[in-house]
Amino acid sequence: MGMGILSSRRNQITGATQYFDQALSCAPNDGIIIREAGRFHYTKGNRGKGFDLLRRAVQMNFNDVLAMYHYARALNDMGRNEEAIDYARRVSLKVPDDAEVHDLLARLYGARKQLFLAHLHLAYSGLYDNNERKVKQNLDKAKNLSKNNTQKIQIERFESQFKERKQYWK
């Protein structure tokens, strides 16, 4: 598997494919190998095989947040946005301070035209990336889009976290 990852990073697709296939044949029930092979195949163009492997990795271990994250991305690519949001939310509950997870949620909500949530998650992404400009830009948009008390509470919760974190940025 390690050689597969290394070959993949070097963009040696044929070699990486062989290494991942070999790893899968040696350990067909190893969730980490299945996940990493799924990530590789999905991102390098064999989306069907990659999707199947990612789904299998998630089914084997519902606590594998990397598998769920990549599976959510794959679901979204397949037009299964509602399922993708469900998996991305699960990931965000396990790793709430991850900028990439919030970027994914923002894209998923944006695709559904849920712009308040899209901008709120982009603001969270900026928060966890220490990107004040991204935070302010998207927080302002989220504020303008907030229409009910629940959304206003979400804004207040975000602003509290922003105030706490931004003091350490300078």
The pLDDT score that the predictor gives to residue 170 is: 66
The two three-digit tokens of residue 98, written as one number: 């991850």
Q: Is residue 122 packed enough to be buried (19+ CB in 10 Å), middle (13-18) or exposed (0-12)? A: buried
Statement: residue 47 has pLDDT above 70: yes
Q: Where are the alpha helices (DSSP H) in the chain?
A: 2-9, 13-26, 31-43, 47-60, 65-77, 81-94, 99-111, 115-128, 132-145, 149-166
If we measure between CA atoms, which residue out of 84, 26, 81, 27 comes closest to residue 55?
A: 84
152 vs 135: CA distance, rounded Å = 16
pLDDT digits (tens, 9 = 90+) for 108-156: 999 999 999 999 999 999 999 999 999 999 999 999 999 999 999 999 9
Q: What percent of the chain has pLDDT over 90?
A: 94
